[in-house]
Structures are given as C-alpha cells and as structure tokens.
Amino acid sequence: MVIIREALLTDNEGLLQLTSLTPMRGKISLRIDRDPFFFNLLNKRGPSQTIVAEDNGILVGCFSVSSIETLVDGNHETVYYLADLKMLPPAGGKVLQRLLNKMYDHLLRDNADLLFCTAAYRNKKVTPLFEGRAGFPEFHHAGIFRVYQIIPLPGKVAPGIFTILETEINDKIIELYNQFYSQFELAPVYSKSCLQETRTIAAFDNGELKACITLADISSSKQNVLIDLPYSLKIAVSLLRLLNKIVFILNLPEIGKPVKVLYVKGFAFARGSEKALDLLIKAAKNLAFQERYCYLTVGIHEKDPLSKHFKKHIHFTFLSEGYLVSLHGNSAKVSKILSGVLYEDYSLV
C-alpha cells in the first residue's frame, strides 16, 4: 500500500536514492544528485516542504515546494517555487495524482497564491501538473530560459578606468542588486543572508561601485553527474583530454563524475556601466579557469536583452521552461508578470 505523507529528515537516504534513479535523459544525459543531504538545496531556497510517496518502506515519489520572497511589479511578494517532482515508473498515475493532491492541500492551507516552477525544455513527464490536475489550475507558460554553460578560458581583463576586486558582500552591493532587479519579475529580494557562501567580484570607478557579479559553488548541496554523451562528443572530449596532458586547455567533464560548475547567482551594474559587467564576466571566466571549473553557468530569460553579455562567450546552451499560475485566479497579476522579463537563480534549480 502506498502512503502519501510529509517528508521527515530521516527520509534523506530514501530521497537520495530516488533522485539517483530519476535522471534527465537527452542528448547529454545528467543525474542531479543531492548528496549528502537532500534538504540542503531546499533550505537555501527558503522555508520548504517535501511530500513523499512511500510503498512498503521504499520512497517511490516526491514533490517539494519552497516559499521565496520575490519582486512582483516592484513589490515584495511570496512566490511558491515547485520542484523535485519525481516518480518511479512502476508507481503509476494514481500515485502521482495522490501526490499532487497532497501538495495542493498543503498550498491551500498555507494560503499560497503565485506558484512558479521550471522544467527542462519539452519535459513531458511534468506536463500533467501544468495542464491542470489534482485541483491545480492550468499553468501559464512563462517563456524559455537559456542556461548558458560558458567554457572557462583564460583571457586578458583590461580594466581601463575600473578597478576590479573580489570583495565581501556589503550594504552597497545589496542596494545595487535590489535596485537593478526591480526591473525584473520574480527576482529574489537580496540580503546578506541569501548571499552567504558566495564570492563577489566588483568593479569600481574612483571608489564608487559600478557593477558586481556574485558566484556560487553549490556542490555541497547539488551535483550534476554526467551519465552519457553523444558518440561525437565522446571522441572530442577524448582528444581534448590527450591535448590537456601536453598543455592544460580546459577542465573536461567525465562520465560518471560530478561536473564542476560555478554559477552566476547574480549580476548588476549601475546606469551607464554595462562595460563594467563585461569586464566582470571575463574576470569570472578567469577565476573559473584557474580553479578548474568545467562551466560558468547562468540562466537568462529569452526576453532579457542582457543575454548579449553572456552569449558572446564560447558556450553550450540548455533550455528550460518557466510555468506560472495564481491559485486565487488573479489573472491580471499573472498577465503583468508575464509581460515583463523574468529572473531565475539557476544555482538553486
């Protein structure tokens, strides 16, 4: 008999096992591990709850939600981020329905309104949720995020009038971030606490902050394990690995091992200082190269003109889709959000 219940901390091993059994298959296949503690990533997002499906002591499904303080039309509002919808194939549609029902009941008790989630491009496994099921209304498509996997390569950073420094998070950086992200929808409200365990590189002009970029290595909470590559890429990687033995060019991913990723958690620049952002991206690439990361990763919404600063660097692109709904039926609010440019922190996806 399958039991649907709230997850306990003692479910950690079962959730890690379930995660390992539900990889993302595609041309490049990945498994997202959450060692050593499944709940670490959720805790980084904000107050969270996980619902599990248990069959004779074995976890066969899960679903998580996190409440996140975001900007909606310039105002602070709690948005509920849905994630971790995983189901072992033998469990069947009825178990999925019950899992969704349990989450829906939890959200109603919490008086949740705005729900947001992302999914891999054309991921059909999660479409039952978005099409309206188990009480959920039909979700609105919120556009595509281009997740740029920038190849870290060394390059000269000519700062010109700027001084480029790695610096501690301070009130001026927080102020710049919150001013900058007020132009976005669903952007996080920044604080020192949400930027813990990160590194920030800033550009100054005569001591005045002009731009900053914050980087996060979250391998202690999430690991992207490479499962398989197309044959042509396997050959290319093998050749590059041989060349690496002569002269180090770049850090190459290995099948069966976590891919070392440095995420762009946030970036901002003062009016008229876009060139400073370009310098900081180069500095971040250099840092990622020196510390042997495979990718410098950032997710940018398809409507965001700032993608030009990232896509000009050598990169691979993964596509992710956003989905949004108001449980209270507030269609005007949803339309306002969708008419703007969305932001998503892909270090926490």
**172 and 268 Cβ atoms separated by less than 8 Å:** no
Amino acid at 64: S
User: Looking at residue 27, what is its pLDDT?
Assistant: 61
Tell me the residue ranges of DSSP E strands in the chain. Answer: 2-6, 29-33, 48-55, 58-72, 75-87, 114-120, 140-150, 163-167, 187-188, 199-205, 208-216, 223-228, 258-259, 261-269, 295-301, 315-326
Q: Which residues pair with 142 in a beta bridge?
A: none
Burial of 10 (0-12, 13-18, 19+ CB in 10 A): exposed
Q: Where do the structural domains in the chain lie, given as residue ranges?
A: 2-143+320-339, 149-220+254-318
Residue range 65-123, pLDDT digits in tens: 999 999 999 999 999 999 999 989 877 788 988 999 999 999 999 999 999 999 988 77
User: Looking at residue 126, what is its pLDDT?
Assistant: 74
pTM (global) more than 0.85: yes
Residue range 133-160, pLDDT digits in tens: 777 899 999 999 999 999 998 888 889 9
User: Looking at residue 90, what is its pLDDT?
Assistant: 77
Query: pLDDT-derived band of residue 15, with 50, 70 and 90 as boundaries?
Result: very high
Residue range 225-280, pLDDT digits in tens: 988 777 676 776 677 677 667 766 677 788 888 999 999 999 999 999 999 999 99
> What CATH class is the domain 149-220+254-318?
alpha beta
User: Looking at residue 104, what is its pLDDT?
Assistant: 94
Task: Look at phi and psi of residue 143 and say left if phi exceeds 0, alpha if psi is from -120 to 50, else beta.
Answer: left
Query: pLDDT-derived band of residue 292, with 50, 70 and 90 as boundaries?
Result: very high
Query: pLDDT-derived band of residue 284, with 50, 70 and 90 as boundaries?
Result: very high
Residue range 37-78, pLDDT digits in tens: 999 999 999 999 999 999 999 999 999 999 999 999 999 999
Q: What share of the chain is helix, strand, coil (3-state, %, to 5)?
A: 30, 35, 30
Q: Please determine, looking at this structure, whether the domain spanning 2-143+320-339 carries the CATH number 3.40.640.10.
A: no
Asked if the domains at 2-143+320-339 and 149-220+254-318 fall in one CATH topology, the answer is yes
286 half-sphere exposure, CB direction, 13 A CA radius: 13
DSSP-based three-state secondary structure for 303: coil
Q: What percent of the chain has pLDDT over 70?
A: 95
